[in-house]
Amino acid sequence: MKIAIYGQKYCKKNIPYLNQFIGYASSHSIEIYIEKSFFHILSSFGEFKNLDFPIFSHYRELKTKNFNLMFTFGGDGTILSAITLIRDSGIPIIGVNTGNLGFLATFNKNVFIKKIDQIFNKKLHIMPRSLLSLKTSVTNHHNFFNYALNEIVVLRKEMVSMITIDAYIDNEFLTSYWADGLIISTPTGSTGYSLSCGGPIISPENKNFVLTPISPHNLFSRPLIISDHQKVYLKIHSRVKSYSLSMDTRLTSLDQENELYIQKAPFYIYLIQEKKNTYYKTLREKLLWGMDQRN
């Protein structure tokens, strides 16, 4: 078996968890590859100075070397960053939550080591997650990964004034949003930025996307759920010549004549979780449902 390890940062208190994991994998003849930047981060700790594992730094390496699993150490942001390496390779992700909330990174670091046998014996549940795909009418961002697991967000830039976003669904005009921005979210991303802007929570097995305006001026503008088979087309009007575009954790700037074409991606990201840790159990725990002292 061959596994990849990825992270964006690490702190000393989490060293024992990763140490135990690497020790287990090595003793079971599991090939370990560590992402290049994370390897350098780990090497800065005395406990990992003698790490002697091969590294990877590009998605093509993952796709061509037949990896079985990727383990991410961090939070949900780490997983969102990891998909720029996973892409359409089909490699399942196991998120070990060393962060805070963790809707996607469902394996708590405190119990993760106890679950290793289950993980490597494939006694867990694989959840496919849909993504959004983006094409632009003018600018071609060669180095910009144009897929998003959580959401695509259009935002006003460098001004207090709102922007106007003309939205079309399958070439039919929907409405013009006068707002600070617009979120197009997957079911996975429905518990993120969209939720904080009043959007609905959508369980991952639903084949939907949701359009959620950010601070709309026209108060009758409300979140809209559409089928993920439909295509979204956006034209942006602004008092300045550019606007901001966010795709998960990645941010760029586009000229306002650049129109956006958004649809479902042709591949899935696969997340692994315990069978008993259902989506609804995660919601109860992370959103503290039922924890009201009055209950």
285 annotated among ligand-binding-site residues: no
Answer yes or no: are the C-beta atoms of 139 and 258 closer than 8 Å: yes
- Asked whether residue 142 carries a pLDDT value surpassing 70, the answer given is no
Say if residue 191 carries a ligand binding annotation: yes
Distance CA 231, CA 1 (A): 39
Give residue-wise pLDDT tens across range 35-72: 999 998 888 887 777 778 899 998 889 888 889 999 99
Q: Which CATH number fits domain 132-264: 3.30.930.10, 2.60.200.30, 3.40.50.2000, 3.40.190.290?
A: 2.60.200.30
Helix (H), strand (E) at residue 78 = helix 76-86
Mean pLDDT of the 236-260 span: 92
Rounded Cα distance between 269 and 187, Å, is 13
Write down the pLDDT at residue 236. 95
Q: How confident is the model at residue 19 (pLDDT cuts 50, 70, 90)?
A: confident
What is the share, in percent, of the chain residues with pLDDT greater than 90? 56
CATH top class, domain 2-130+268-286: alpha beta
Q: Tell me how many degrees the CA angle 100-103-107 measures, rounded to the nearest 5.
A: 75
141: pLDDT strictly greater than 60? no
Residue 98 counted as an annotated binding residue? no
pLDDT of residue 292: 67
The answer to whether residue 158 scores a pLDDT higher than 80 is no
Catalytic status, residue 170: no
Residue 200 DSSP symbol: P
Average pLDDT in the chain? 89
Each residue's pLDDT tens digit, 162-172? 899 999 999 99
Q: What pLDDT band is residue 278 in, cutting at 50, 70 and 90?
A: confident
Interior/surface letters 242-257, b for 16+ CB within 10 angstroms, e for the rest: bbbbbbbbeeeebebe
Q: Are 274 and 106 in contact (CB under 8 A)?
A: yes
- Name the pTM for this structure: 0.91
> Stretch 13-22: mean pLDDT, rounded?
84
Query: 5-14, 50-59, 120-129, 263-272 — which one is most confidently predicted on average?
Result: 263-272
Which is more confidently placed, 158 or 175?
Answer: 175
* 193 has binding-site annotation: yes
**69-110: pLDDT as tens digits:** 999 998 899 999 999 999 999 999 999 988 776 788 878 887
100 is in an annotated binding site: no
pLDDT of residue 274: 77
How is the chain split into domains, by residue range?
2-130+268-286, 132-264
**Tens digit of pLDDT for each residue in 181-198?**
999 999 999 999 999 999
The pLDDT confidence band at residue 295, using thresholds 50, 70 and 90, is low
**pLDDT at position 181, please?**
96
Report the percentage of the chain scoring pLDDT > 70. 96
Catalytic residue among 76, 88, 228, 248: 76
